[in-house]
Structure 1
Amino acid sequence: MKESPRHRPGGKYCGRTAKLSKEQMNEIRRRSGQEEEKKALAAEFGISRQTLYRIIKG
């Protein structure tokens, strides 16, 4: 079985560390459902709108 290119031998992950915690992502999802402006949410959390939409989509 081939290993993912993001994993090293021994099971170590080689990707970028997450900028937002799971709690922050849940907060974004909750507030976006309350019709809060997406641009303002992205600016508040220091992420792009594209990243924000990716988080909302799940």
Structure 2
Amino acid sequence: MMKGKDIEDFFVNSRRLLRYASQPDRNLLFQMGKIILITFALLGGLAFVIRLIFSAVLQFGGV
């Protein structure tokens, strides 16, 4: 359980973080979007390849 000093430190650190934080600019948002789309495509491609492998294994040497 958090004690009074821990709670006070948490709020002090939270205020400090919010004071120095800034909104992302357009370039950073575009870069994050590209990274997310590339990751999504890679994971989808990997899932597709795994599904092809499993369907081939089950069809030709399956149970």
TM-score for both structures, normalised by structure 2 = 0.29
Normalized per residue, which structure has more helix?
Answer: 2
TM-score for both structures, normalised by structure 1 = 0.31
